[in-house]
Amino acid sequence: MEDDININDIHLITPTNIDDNHTENQSLRERESTDDSNRAVSREEVDVLELQTNEGCVEDFEDKTDNRTIKKRVDTFSNLWSEHTADQILFPLWTFGFNQKVPIINLSKKGTNIILYSSANLVVLSDIDNKKQRLLRGHCNEVTCLASSVDKRWLASGDKGPDSAVIIWDGKTGDSVRTMLSPHKNGVICIALTEDARYLATLSADEFDQKFAIWNWTTGSEIPLCEVNLTDEHASQNRISFKSGDYYHVVTNSQSQVIFYNWNVNGEISAYAPTLTDEDFDKKVGNFVGSRCIPGSNVAITATTQGLLVVWETDKTNLKKDVGESRYKKAVKLVPIHDKPITFLTITRSLLSKFCIVTGDVTGVIKFFDTNYMLLYWYQNLNAGPIASVSFASRGILDESSMPLKSTEYPELSTIPGEKFVVEDFIVTTAHANMISITVDGGVMTYLHRDNHEDVTDLTCHPTLPHLTTCSLTGILKTFHYENKTVLSMRDFGTNDPIQSCRYCKIGLYIAVGFVSGYVRIVDSMTLKDVTSEPFTYGRGAITHVDFAPLNHFFAYADSAFTTTLVVPNKRSEGDPWVYVGRIRAHYRKINDLRFWAARGSKTCRLFTIGDDRTLVEYDLYQASKNHFPMLSRVRIDQMHIPLCLSELPPHYKEDFIFVSNDTSKFKLINATSFMCRKVVMAYPQAIQYYKVLPLPSDPLATAHFLLCMSEERLSLVMLPLDGDPLKNTNLTAHPSGKRGSGKASALAVSNDGRYVFTAGGPDTCVHMWGVNPKILEDRVRNAREVKRRFYDLLSPVFLNELKDYYYYSMLRTQGLKCLDTRQTSLTIPITEISYVMRAVGFYPTEEEILNMINEVKYSTFCETGTYVTDIDLDTFIQISFLSALPISRFSTLVYCNYRPHQGVLYKDVEKAFNRLCHVQDSDTGKSLHFRDPVEEIKDTPKMPPEYLFTTLQTIGEPIGETELIEYLAVLMGNFPEGGSPEVTESINSAGIAKAVDESLPMFLNAENFVHRILGMKFCSTKNLEEDYLDTKLRATHSISPSPLDRKESNEKKQSCDVQTD
């Protein structure tokens, strides 16, 4: 039993504690219904105040009642399918697939066949007959619920996650008329509109302290009209249903609890949560699926997973406490209607019984019952999976009783021979991502969608034709004509043979298909039939990557067992067209990408792979023979960070580079011959990780070239050359992931003409087609002024002045600090001084990173001039505004901005390092050993003797010398006033300093005393330490690039925390 929950005049009433001072809703309803004309005028005023009408879609008329001119919309869909995208760089064009977890809404009327559904964070209006889609944008999280008014004019959508929103849409124009930002802390799990669309009900998606609220959305108020806080026992409500004809009565349910509400326009609401257990009827009830109020009665019904209908009627013991229909209900009986668990419940109109109950179950059976629970008709041959939703059209056939009787194609009722079963046509969606249109008159069933209900794992575009092929863990391989929006061919391998990857060959004849089982099939690109007699079965794990060579004379694939396999065309006339050559395991950790690469103008190609082992492996394709696939070279391309993907670059650079993206939000350009890192660039938004990168096809002589990048949820377009300029990047949310949704982008493809981009959302089962207009980004960059200012905005003014001071100090140091001669005015310092300046400003790169910085500057003009850069002047270093003529490739501020980590070293990073260092494994037994301080009472804190830490620093990674180590420790511990040998010329007593350091060190070190006693640093606030910096960044950007001002403010706040632990 639950206690009352009282928040002002909001009550949650339970059977044991009922509020007698309830509101008399009946009298309020009578007062509201006395003047229907006022209600009509109010509705029309909403059209004036809330709706921004489009030109050509309105007409003026004189309202004599109010003596005002009110604009009223013409009943037309002329503007619904027109969307202005001319000023957008990236914009959605089409969705292949839908979110089967969100019930669809059938908007079909006379002469139209339109449905509403969701796909990731997009709301889709689809014209089935004309193959049109209008994609409604406004959500940054995955859409969780949809709703509409009875007349289908007003639509609503909601999402859950950070920065959630509920949006009201005009169903005739597709325009948003009201956006409610963060109506609840974590968004909404379910919404519902009243019949006249005047009020909106929401259920919050909060895990605890869930709220049920009713909003008068037409007033623009940011607070609900009334609200109920649901206790933990009553939380997890996920369905809302207004009573038809009297929407002041509402019912919601979770899997275990049904709640009935009464509310009024004065903002008063009361709720009653009746109990129902298996003991009440001596029968297992099961979980609740959905609830509905039967129109014209005081009865409500709830479907359960035991195939039952729970019938709720007024609790007569509490009848006197309510005037009119009571919210006090109790379960009076259980009606068995299905043999299997019910998955869906709704109520619709029918010809004979006026209203009928519609249910669907896990076997795909749909049944229709009258309000006395007598079976009227059923559909049992759908064979499409568990029913997810059923939505009926509104063509008005039941308003003209003579029309259905003229047709002889309506089926007969199951229980009354000779009587016709007449309901509106309807659309069914199933948990297996099937969407079926059922025409009752004639019993015609048409599949609108046969999509994937498990992860979409890969997609690929035909090299010459407008064909797109997708694959999924459902085992479906499907080819679309993406311009005609039709399915060309489909092959279902079954759920027992899920597909992991697919790729067209370079001439488009074949598609390589990699399976989770380790098999690889090569199929015909048109028929999807095998072209080899048997699949290749050499993989020892899921086939994660497949690729064809540019001239189609090699094919390779990688599997989850870290091996790479080579296949070549069969040169003999007999046998299969492709034959196996060999396989090799060149990585000891997961392979992240595999790619054939060819230099410009070369007729030969090379094969590369990268993996979690931070290595780039090249294979010897031309020395491979039967069962012999040699490795040509193996190069470590990163010290600490994991490379995520490889890519070719558009024809912009004169040198041949291999593009690499890593897990620290960095782009790297690797020289294809020497494997030297030649450039490092920060990716935007900061802290983002790009898993897929492709060049946007363009003319080699084009004025600009671009890269397409895909993270787990965001699609970006980046303009070359890569230099870290934030203005050269634009991005939008393509598949919300993490807290924002279930998506996790799994694939990226681009059409052969570069006009369209395709993304797969993995677990969200959606494939999106995007339009791309790079000319807008190019014009934006070309027309922007003060290029250097955009880089200055990445840093604070205080930091820039500090950087300038250190530059001058470095200049003095190179000339000699104790020089008595007249100093030579110099504008340059050697590039070898870059490392000292970087460390002086608080960024401590590794020796390898220092070498990369020097090489980047040293070779920056080599292709143009044939000479090396050996010095950097001050203006190049800090990019003072009056030197805009200098080539941007030489700016050393870029070196700092691009090399620095997107956030400083946090305390949790130090803890993680100590956890790893303190974990020692016995070489004989394999058991984990831990250092233990006998004096310390806390046993669980990882700790180690200082000698063990210093030995590790001197032997692993980039070793530090003993003299250097003692010097640094002496400075940190306060035993030596100055470090840095260039500034100190006096002899140093090494033995004395070493002894002083040894006496200052504690017996054991843990993360906390290392930070406090050794490094002398302080903790930042927990909020700053744990803040998701990328998530904060994306809130400000949403679907556009972050402004320099926003980034500047964020960096200043972030640096104030990072400086404590740098």
**Residue 23 has which token pair?**
């509101």
Q: What is the pLDDT of residue 878?
A: 52
pLDDT in tens, 870-922: 887 765 565 432 222 233 333 455 677 777 777 777 888 888 888 888 887 77
Query: Who contacts 981 (Cβ-Cβ below 8 Å, separation ≥6)?
Result: 967
**Exposed / middle / buried, residue 612 (Cβ in 10 Å: 0-12, 13-18, 19+):** middle
**Exposed / middle / buried, residue 759 (Cβ in 10 Å: 0-12, 13-18, 19+):** buried
Strand pairing partners for 772?
A: 90
Give CA torsion, residues 220, 225, 229, 235, to 10 deg: -70
Helix (H/G/I), strand (E/B), else coil: 410: coil
CB 1016 within 8 A of CB 973: no
Give CA torsion, residues 228, 230, 231, 232, to 10 deg: -160
**Exposed / middle / buried, residue 522 (Cβ in 10 Å: 0-12, 13-18, 19+):** buried
**Superfamily assignment of 452-636 in CATH?**
YVTN repeat-like/Quinoprotein amine dehydrogenase (2.130.10.10)
| 1029/903 Cα distance (integer angstroms) | 8
Q: What is the pLDDT of residue 757?
A: 98
3-state helix, strand, coil in the chain (%, to 5): 20, 35, 45
Sheet holding 486-492, edge to edge: 456-461, 467-472, 476-481, 486-492
Domain ranges in the chain are 339-451, 452-636, 787-899, 907-1024
The answer to whether the peptide bond before residue 685 is cis (omega within 30 degrees of 0) is yes
| 470/916 Cα distance (integer angstroms) | 41
Residue linked to tokens 């990268």: 610
Query: Who contacts 940 (Cβ-Cβ below 8 Å, separation ≥6)?
Result: none
Helix (H/G/I), strand (E/B), else coil: 1017: coil
Q: What is the pLDDT of residue 900?
A: 78
Q: What is the pLDDT of residue 401?
A: 53
pLDDT in tens, 149-195: 999 999 999 999 999 999 999 998 999 999 999 999 999 999 999 99
> Which of 664, 661, 745, 648 has its CA nearest to residue 706?
648
Query: Who contacts 450 (Cβ-Cβ below 8 Å, separation ≥6)?
Result: 433, 434, 476, 490
Query: Who contacts 740 (Cβ-Cβ below 8 Å, separation ≥6)?
Result: 121, 140, 141, 142, 161, 162, 713, 733
> Which of 876, 875, 810, 877 has its CA nearest to residue 837?
810
| 981/544 Cα distance (integer angstroms) | 52
Strand pairing partners for 1047?
A: none
| 174/77 Cα distance (integer angstroms) | 9
Strand pairing partners for 667?
A: 661, 681
**Residue 257 has which token pair?**
């609890």
**Residue 772 has which token pair?**
């791309």
For the chain, the C-alpha Rg in angstroms (whole number) is 34
Q: What is the pLDDT of residue 78?
A: 59
Query: Who contacts 320 (Cβ-Cβ below 8 Å, separation ≥6)?
Result: none
Q: What would the DSSP string read from start to end of 704-733? A: --EEEEE-SSEEEEEESSPS--GGGEEEEE
Q: What is the pLDDT of residue 319?
A: 60
pLDDT in tens, 1010-1026: 888 888 877 665 444 44
| 237/30 Cα distance (integer angstroms) | 31
Phi-psi region of 238 (alpha: psi -120 to 50; beta: other; left: phi over 0): alpha
Hey, CA dihedral for 42, 45, 50, 56, is it positive or negative? positive
Phi, psi at 833, each rounded to 5°? -85, -5
Cα maximum dimension of the chain: 117
Phi, psi at 1038, each rounded to 5°? 50, -95
| 881/792 Cα distance (integer angstroms) | 10
Q: What would the DSSP string read from start to end of 960-993? A: --HHHHHHHHHHHHTSSS---GGG--S---HHHH
What is residue 274's DSSP assignment? -
CB count, 10 Å around CB of 262?
A: 24
pLDDT in tens, 721-774: 898 888 999 999 999 999 999 999 999 999 999 999 999 999 999 999 999 999
| 321/273 Cα distance (integer angstroms) | 15
Predicted TM-score of the model (pTM): 0.85
Query: Who contacts 291 (Cβ-Cβ below 8 Å, separation ≥6)?
Result: 239, 241, 251, 252, 253, 258, 300, 301, 302, 303, 345
Q: What is the pLDDT of residue 1020?
A: 61
Phi, psi at 669, each rounded to 5°? -110, 115
What are the Cα distances from residue 883, in Å, to 810, 873, 877? 21, 11, 11
> Which of 874, 877, 873 has its CA nearest to residue 896?
877
| 80/573 Cα distance (integer angstroms) | 57
Extract the residue ranges of the chain whose pLDDT is less than 50: 1-76, 402, 879-891, 979-982, 985, 1022-1062
Strand pairing partners for 756?
A: 771
Strand pairing partners for 543?
A: 559
CB 288 within 8 A of CB 254: yes
Q: What is the pLDDT of residue 984?
A: 52
Phi-psi region of 734 (alpha: psi -120 to 50; beta: other; left: phi over 0): alpha
